[in-house]
Amino acid sequence: MNDTADVVIAGFGPAGAMLASLLGQRGHRIVVFEKFPEPYGLPRMSTLDGEVARLLQHAADPAEALAESLPVRSVELWGSDGRQKGRFDWDYKRAGHWGHMALHQPHIEAAMEQRIATLPAVEVHWGTSVVGLRAEGGGYVVTTSGGDSVSARYVVGMDGVSGFVRDAVGIDVEVVHRHHDRWILTDYDVVKPLPHDLEHRCYFDLDFDQPYFWGPNGVGRVRSDVRLLPGDDEEVVAAEERGLEFLERRVGIPRDHVRQTRRKLYTFRSQIAVSMRRGGVFIGGDSAHGMTPYMGQGACTAMRDAANLAWKLDLVLRGLAQEALLDTYEAERLAHARFFVEGSLAAYKMINPFTPEDAAGRDAYLEATGGDVTPPIPPLRHGIQHRSADGEYGEQAGEVAPQGVVRIGEREGLLDDLVGYGFQLISTLPLEEILGAARLARLADLGVRVIHLGDEGVGGVGGVVDVEGTYADYLAEHHATTLLSRPDVYLFGLADGADDAVALVDDLLAQIPEPAPVPA
């Protein structure tokens, strides 16, 4: 084991693995400790959004990570009277992928583990907990359950709800709502075709007495999530027979059409840490926020944390940015995570009304509105986003950036697969002629890909042909000629014309200033 590291990560779930992969691919020395002795091997999350699918293009082989995934094009809401009350329309793409996908989580984790196994600068220690953390010599010393010690410049706690790292540095947790009801989640493999297209349907049955969720978990796998009735005996409810009986009685699936793979009793959490940083110690994932599953955003929010922190740590560790850049991690991620904690709690309250009268009112409201009551995901704020001279956020700043299919020379595919990880400065203008040598040199240091949309053989990454018109349509919609996006796939900002493009780049460079020279 290395006794020194750039970053120690506690926890090797999806967020810890993404952080380790992104940092390790930049050559940083990463040591990861995971308390479990081996990968879990069974699904927990069942939904992935397009934004996080795009991040997996960089953290893993995306074909392996998204193997057996399915687009979720809609979610149905069915009321207590057995009639459909509403529908969420998810038939769109986001960041180059389907907006929502059903998936098999072990594929994602295995794909990231395989990528990490190729990185000599990353060590992963299974069956090892972090049990001690102290500041020392401008960094930190981490001690483990195996008796080892590692010195690191930074420590990141992605170690789940128990959050040893969080507690060790004294970060408190705000309980947004205390849940008392119990739910039982069951995963099944499909062994015979299911009736009513149930392998591809995703819906909530909003029965007042016992609501439940049904949906796919990728190809050939399905899931139910059922609220227990008061007085239900946990051992009886947890038995496989009870789950099969529920499927026959409530869902209409013969028991010989499925094979149960996981059955777990649990209680929801709605909570959020009051901070995500203490000095050089950061937290993310379930350690920083817990939410109900009704927006399908728990693991996605965790991986957003990892991607946000990764590029900032990378620039600081490589001496390309001041350490103050790391202040924007908490500023951006804490408010964004709170939206999902509170939004998923609002969805929980809709599904679990207190009285039959409340349920009837909810059903009437859903019928009247068509049922698509999901709020839009807000943009990032309070960090690295383009602002105008008067301090106002630029159009689309902090939103997820588009990704389209392009052609560079003889290669064709999604842009990120062809140009790799990093900032992207995409324009219909010849920016290499407009920006000047000093700006281009600093952009190159930061790893910014300068991409000229146009004829083949033109531009900073060869010629980039917008095969499907994704970028042309996006820029035209927003009356822009140039977009600048961050490594975590959020848009820094847009510009219209050469002068605006120069101002856009200057704003990025002002927000990520170079460190002061070290005295000789």
CATH domain 183-266 topology: Alpha-Beta Plaits (3.30.70)
How far apart CA 201 and CA 205 sit, in angstroms, is 12
β-pair type (221-227, 183-190): antiparallel
How far apart CA 359 and CA 368 sit, in angstroms, is 14
How far apart CA 34 and CA 124 sit, in angstroms, is 8
What is the pLDDT at residue 62?
94
The predicted-structure confidence for 135-179, as pLDDT tens digits, reads as follows 998 899 999 998 999 999 999 999 999 899 999 999 999 999 999
pLDDT surpasses 80 at 112:
yes
pLDDT surpasses 50 at 339:
yes
Domain with CATH 3.50.50.60 in the chain: 4-71+98-176+270-352
Domain with CATH 3.40.30.120 in the chain: 406-511
* HSE toward the beta carbon, residue 359, CA cutoff 13 A: 19
Q: What is the mean pLDDT of the chain?
A: 91
* Tokens coding 282: 């950061």
Q: How confident is the model at residue 241 (pLDDT cuts 50, 70, 90)?
A: confident
CB-CB neighbours of 429 under 10 Å: 18
pLDDT surpasses 90 at 125:
yes
How far apart CA 356 and CA 222 sit, in angstroms, is 30
501: closest CA among 431, 402, 403, 415? 431
How far apart CA 201 and CA 210 sit, in angstroms, is 20
Please tell me the least confidently modeled range out of 300-309, 334-343, 420-429, 451-460: 451-460
**Contact status, residue 228 vs residue 181, Cβ threshold 8 Å:** yes
How far apart CA 391 and CA 308 sit, in angstroms, is 23
CB-CB neighbours of 457 under 10 Å: 8
- In this prediction, residues 271-300 reach a mean pLDDT of 94
* Tokens coding 411: 């290669």
CATH of domain 406-511: 3.40.30.120
* Tokens coding 49: 């959004």
Q: How confident is the model at residue 74 (pLDDT cuts 50, 70, 90)?
A: confident
Residue 5, sorted as left (phi over 0), alpha (psi -120 to 50) or beta, turns out to be beta
Q: How confident is the model at residue 520 (pLDDT cuts 50, 70, 90)?
A: low
Q: Residue type for 373, please?
A: V
What is the pLDDT at residue 414?
96
Domain with CATH 3.30.70 in the chain: 183-266
* HSE toward the beta carbon, residue 414, CA cutoff 13 A: 20
pTM of the model: 0.93
**Contact status, residue 434 vs residue 502, Cβ threshold 8 Å:** yes
How far apart CA 433 and CA 8 sit, in angstroms, is 42
β-pair type (97-98, 93-94): antiparallel
How far apart CA 442 and CA 130 sit, in angstroms, is 39
CATH domain 4-71+98-176+270-352 topology: FAD/NAD(P)-binding domain (3.50.50)
pLDDT surpasses 70 at 11:
yes
Give Cα separations from 334 to 272, 286, 447, 487 (angstroms). 8, 13, 26, 19
What is the pLDDT at residue 472?
95
* Tokens coding 330: 């908490």
Q: How confident is the model at residue 482 (pLDDT cuts 50, 70, 90)?
A: very high
Please tell me the least confidently modeled range out of 5-19, 83-97, 120-134, 232-246: 232-246
What is the pLDDT at residue 458?
41
How far apart CA 150 and CA 83 sit, in angstroms, is 59
How far apart CA 506 and CA 482 sit, in angstroms, is 14
Q: How confident is the model at residue 459 (pLDDT cuts 50, 70, 90)?
A: very low
Residue 82, sorted as left (phi over 0), alpha (psi -120 to 50) or beta, turns out to be left
CB-CB neighbours of 30 under 10 Å: 28
How far apart CA 177 and CA 184 sit, in angstroms, is 20
- In this prediction, residues 414-432 reach a mean pLDDT of 95
What is the pLDDT at residue 359?
87
